[in-house]
Structure 1
C-alpha cells in the first residue's frame, strides 16, 4: 500500500518535499493558506487544499489524522507552526515532522510531541561546510549534534590494507558500515576486505572521532 503524506506549508522546503514525494509515487495532500501556492501544486500533489491549519476544525475536515506522516513546513510563522503541531498531536496523528526556525522553536516542538524536528538551512550549511573543508569527504549526514554518517574517498594510504590491518573501530571508535566500489556496494564488509584506491567508505561515528580519522589516516 502507498503511504499517505500531508505537507503543510508550501514554501521552498515544503514545496520541495511535496514534489519529491509525488515523484516517488506517494499520495500527498498539499496544504497552505496561500491560494496561489496551492494552485501551483494542484497538478503535482494528489490533493491541494487552501486551509488554515491553526484552526482545529479545518484539520479535522481534511481527515489528516488518517495520514501516515504529516510534515509541518510552515515558514516564518513560529506561532502557526507550534499551534498546528499541537493540534495534530492532540488528534493522534501517527508521525509528525516539523521544520524549526531556531533552537528555541525546536525545544517547544519537542515538548509538545513532534516526532522529528529539522533545521534545513542550518543542516545544509553544516553539510556544505564539512564537504568543502576536506578533500576526501564526498557527503555528510548529521545524525545528531555529535554523530554523523560520512562518505570518505579512500586514498593511496589506505589502498592495499584490510579492515583488520587498519583496526579502525578500536583505534578511532568509528565503523565502516559499507564500501562503494564502482558499481558495487559492499554492506557490512568483512574484516579481511582489502580497501582499494577511490573506494568510497561509508563511515559512522562521533564527529570528533571521524575528524581524527580524517586527519591522521587520510592526511
Structure 2
C-alpha cells in the first residue's frame, strides 16, 4: 500500500461520505466535519474522527488541525458561497492541498482562479462518462485528462496471428494496448509482450483519445 495519508473532509453528504469511506477502506486516516448532527452520526462508524461543527468557521478548522492534513476535501452541498468561504479559510490557515467538489461550471471557474489544487464536478463527469458509454460499444471507462480519453475493449478478430509489434497501434493510431484477456481467460494480462502472436478471440484493452479509438472500432 502507498504511504498512509491524513485527509480532512468538510461536508459529509453523499459525495463526501462516500469518498471518506473509500479512503478509510484503503487504510488512510480521515477526519470529517459537518454541521448536521444526523450526518455526523451516520459517518461515525466509518471515519477516524468526526466533528459536528461549522466548516465555514476558520477558527474551528484551525482548532481541529486541518492545516496539518495532507489533503482537505471540500464537499459542502448546495452552497457555492459556503464552498468558496471554506476554501479561503483553508488557504488562510496554510492547508497545502485543497480538493473541492464543484456544483456548476461557474463554481469550477471560480475555484480554479482561487488556485484550488483539484476540482471535481461529479455530475458533469458522470453524465459525460455515460454518454460515451452509450455511444462507444466496448467502452470500459472514461478519463478526464484534458481531452476525451477512453479505455475500450476490442476482440482481436481480423488481427489473428499478428503481434502487437506488427500492429504498431501506437504509431499508426496513437492508441496503446494496456492489457490482454487471453481466449477464455478471466484474468487480464497487463503490459503484454509485443512479440506474442494474438489469437482470434483474445480481447485487447486499449487506451486512447475517443477519435482515435473510433478509427479501429
Coarse TM-score class (shorter-chain normalised): 0.7 to 0.9
Structure 1 residue 176: deviation in Å? Answer: 2.5
- Residue among 58, 62, 68 paired with 2:60: 58
* Partner residue, 1:171: 172
User: Judging changes above 3 Å, is the alpha-carbon distance between structure 1 residues 92 and 157 closer, same or farther for their aligned structure 2 residues?
Assistant: farther
CA contact (8 A) 2:8 2:71 kept: yes
In the alignment, structure 2 segments of 5+ residues that lack a partner are none
- Taking the aligned partners of 1:171 and 1:95, their CA distance within structure 2 comes to 39
Q: Which whole-Å deviations, capped at 9, do the CAs of 1:168-198 have from their partners, x for residues lacking one?
A: 22222222234454324322x4432444424
CA contact (8 A) 1:143 1:149 kept: no
- Residue among 22, 37, 44 paired with 1:35: 37
- Taking the aligned partners of 1:56 and 1:180, their CA distance within structure 2 comes to 52
CA contact (8 A) 1:98 1:114 kept: yes
Structure 1 residue 121: deviation in Å? Answer: 1.0
In the alignment, structure 1 segments of 5+ residues that lack a partner are none
1:132-211 → structure 2 map (5 Å cutoff): 132-144=134-146, 146-181=147-182, 182-187=186-191, 189-196=192-199, 197-203=201-207, 205-211=208-214
TM-score, structure 2 length as denominator? 0.87
- Residue among 94, 101, 123 paired with 1:99: 101
Give the aligned length: 211
CA contact (8 A) 2:142 2:148 kept: no
User: Judging changes above 3 Å, is the alpha-carbon distance between structure 1 residues 164 and 114 closer, same or farther for their aligned structure 2 residues?
Assistant: same
Q: Does 1:80 align with 2:82?
A: yes
SS of the residue 2:83 aligns to: helix
Supply the RMSD in Å over aligned alpha carbons: 2.0
TM-score, structure 1 length as denominator? 0.86
Structure 1 residue 155: deviation in Å? Answer: 4.3
SS of the residue 1:29 aligns to: strand
CA contact (8 A) 1:139 1:152 kept: no
